[in-house]
Chain A
Amino acid sequence: DVKVTQSSRYLVKRTGEKVFLECVQDMDHENMFWYRQDPGLGLRLIYFSYDVKMKEKGDIPEGYSVSREKKERFSLILESASTNQTSMYLCASRPLNSYNEQFFGPGTRLTVL
């Protein structure tokens, strides 16, 4: 079974802190994605990566950065957390030759105080 894991299920941080959200997949997928999920807005794409060291901006990249040093790991970084970044963050992966189905992790619920 495809397994996508996220480092934390719940996280509480203070405004201005640097926050790292980690995502690891064990199926050797080339593509990885970070979304944030907010009520009534669905899933919005923050950043994605097609390969190691490659990254592309999604629809809402402001205030975020990413790192993909290894194929299985895709990290989302909040350089200086703000209260409007309180949200559910979902990581997903997808194999190179499957253009549609993404496999999601369980999510990290981040609260910024």
Chain B
Amino acid sequence: GQQLNQSPQSMFIQEGEDVSMNCTSSSIFNTWLWYKQDPGEGPVLLIALYKAGELTSNGRLTAQFGITRKDSFLNISASIPSDVGIYFCAGQKTSYDKVIFGPGTSLSVIP
């Protein structure tokens, strides 16, 4: 079946550092989504991207829809302890298709 790859698998960073993570696919998607899962909770949508090349921000978070439609990127600026969690990318081909989730990037922030 379709698969998404996320890198890195895990990250340990100092508070205040910027973070970059990406998601790649062998298939083209028309929608890219980024979710965050806090420890002990369900995932929550951070950013949705609908157009190739689109750059969207949500506070300190910025995500981009890759031009090839096969990848997406998430950046977090000036990380803080509450950024800890698992970040999932997800892709969807059309509005009638299932959402495919990546394996996640685990982020740890050292105060």
**Nearest chain-A residue to B4 (Cβ)?**
A42
Looking at the complex, which of A13-21, A70-78, A104-112 is the stretch in contact with chain B? Answer: A104-112
In the complex, chain B residues 28-79 whose Cβ is within 8 Å of any chain A Cβ: 31, 33, 40-45, 48
Nearest opposing residue in chain B for A105, CB measure = B42
Cα distance A90–B44 in the bound complex, in angstroms: 12
- The answer to whether A42 touches B43 (Cβ under 8 A) is no
Q: How far is the CB of B90 from chain A (nearest CB, A)?
A: 8
The yes or no answer to B111 lying at the interface (CB within 8 A) is no
State in angstroms the CA–CA spacing of A4 and B42 once bound together: 10
Q: Mark A91-111, 1 if CB is under 8 A from B, else 0.
A: 010000001111011110000
* B43 adjacent to A43 (CB under 8 Å): yes
Q: What is the bound-complex CA distance between A100 and B99, given in angstroms?
A: 8
Please tell me if the beta carbons of A99 and B92 are within 8 angstroms of each other in the complex: yes
> What CA separation (Å) do A90 and B88 show in the bound complex?
14
| Contact (Cβ within 8 A) B42 A42 | no
User: Chain A: which residue is nearest B49 at the CB level?
Assistant: A100
List of A residues within 8 angstroms of B44 by Cβ = 104
Q: Is the CB of A107 within 8 A of B88?
A: no
What residues of chain A have their CB less than 8 Å away from a CB belonging to chain B? 4, 35, 40-45, 48, 58-59, 90, 92, 99-102, 104-107
Interface pairs (23), CB distance under 8 Å: A40-B9, A40-B103, A42-B101, A42-B104, A43-B43, A43-B101, A44-B101, A45-B98, A48-B98, A59-B1, A90-B42, A92-B42, A99-B31, A100-B31, A100-B33, A100-B45, A100-B48, A101-B45, A106-B40, A106-B41, A106-B42, A107-B41, A107-B42
